[in-house]
Amino acid sequence: MKGAPWTREEEAKLLMAFDTGLSCEAIAALHDRTKGAVITRLVALGKLVEARRAYYPVQRPWATWDELRERSV
């Protein structure tokens, strides 16, 4: 499925796998996608946020960039 659009069913499975704690590498293997594709989709779905070239789970929607910066140090 590499390069194919994500279906709603595949997105639902992606979110379930992420919420259960599977790594992006494991999720990529399950979906026959690249790790980058999984990360990009999780960002698009609001599950990850990028800060300083790293990705962090979205803990709460009201977290500020300063709070994220403090966590990455």
40 assigned to some structural domain = yes
pLDDT of residue 64: 61
DSSP string, 2-32: TTSPPPHHHHHHHHHHHHTT--HHHHHHHHT
- Whole-number Å distance between alpha carbons of 67 and 7: 33
Distance CA 23, CA 28 (A): 9
Whether 35 is in a domain gets the answer yes
pLDDT digits (tens, 9 = 90+) for 7-66: 999 999 999 999 888 899 999 999 999 999 999 999 999 998 877 777 777 765 555 666
The count of structural domains within the chain is 1
Q: Could you tell me the residue range of the domain that residue 43 belongs to?
A: 8-72
**Confidence band for 73, pLDDT divided at 50, 70 and 90:** very low
Within a domain: residue 3? no
In a domain, 1, yes or no: no
| 68 Cβ neighbours under 8 A, 6+ residues apart | 49, 51, 56
Q: Is residue 48 part of a domain?
A: yes
Whether 23 maps to a domain, the answer reads: yes
Residue 58 DSSP one-character state: -
Q: What is the pLDDT of residue 62?
A: 53
pTM for this predicted structure = 0.71
Establish if 61 belongs to a structural domain.
yes
